[in-house]
């Protein structure tokens, strides 16, 4: 199954988004949080992200959902380092993208479909 990694500046933000996404993935989707800096404070840690990707990847690939700034840059850098074949960053809002990705991943869809579902989260508008 395609795994999902939530990269956010805060540990609790990543864990919270992962909690919601797992619930929407009806207990099947594998959603790993990678939040905050190594010391537990705010920030981004490529070491935490690498560990989360390793935990989320069962061979079918991983979709990364990031909040902003260094989260996005760290995700892009990790993909560059891993040659990018099996790990994709979704251009998506954090919670919505994570929920969409987890919902699609739970169906057994492939990496391309889960990534597309996360990016389609932008289309779900809130005031119109």
The count of chain residues that interact with other proteins, using the rule CB under 8 A, is 15
CA-to-CA separations, 71 to 93, 106, 124, in angstroms, rounded:
12, 25, 23
**CA 81 from centre of chain:** 17
Taking a C-beta distance cutoff of 8 angstroms, is the pair 64, 90 a contact? yes
Residue 51 interacts with other proteins (CB under 8 A): yes or no: no
CB of 95 to other proteins, least distance (A): 19
- What six digits make up the tokens of 9? 């500046």
Return the number of the residue (47 or 58) whose C-beta is nearest other proteins: 47
CB of 21 to other proteins, least distance (A): 24
Q: Work out the burial of residue 72: count CB atoms within 10 Å of its CB; fewer than 13 is exposed, 13-18 middle, 19 or more buried.
A: middle
- Point out which span in 18-26, 41-49, 58-66, 97-105 binds other proteins (CB under 8 A): 41-49
Residue 82 interacts with other proteins (CB under 8 A): yes or no: no
Residue 80 interacts with other proteins (CB under 8 A): yes or no: yes
CB of 37 to other proteins, least distance (A): 5
Give the C-alpha separation, 101 to 70, whole Å: 21
Give the C-alpha separation, 49 to 67, whole Å: 13
Residues lying near other proteins in the complex (CB under 8 A): 37-38, 41, 43-47, 69-70, 73-74, 76-77, 80
């Amino acid at each position: 199954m395609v795994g999902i990694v939530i990269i956010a500046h805060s540990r609790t933000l990543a864990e919270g988004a992962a909690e919601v996404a797992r619930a929407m993935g009806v207990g099947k989707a594998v959603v790993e949080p990678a939040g905050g800096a190594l010391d537990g404070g705010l920030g981004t840690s490529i070491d935490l992200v690498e560990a989360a990707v390793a935990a989320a990847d069962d061979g079918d690939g991983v979709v990364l959902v990031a909040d902003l700034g260094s989260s996005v840059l760290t995700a892009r850098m990790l993909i560059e380092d891993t040659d990018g074949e099996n790990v994709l960053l979704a251009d998506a809002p954090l919670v919505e993208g994570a929920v969409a990705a987890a919902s699609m991943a739970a169906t057994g869809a492939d990496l391309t479909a889960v990534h597309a579902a996360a990016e389609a989260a932008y289309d779900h508008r809130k005031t119109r």
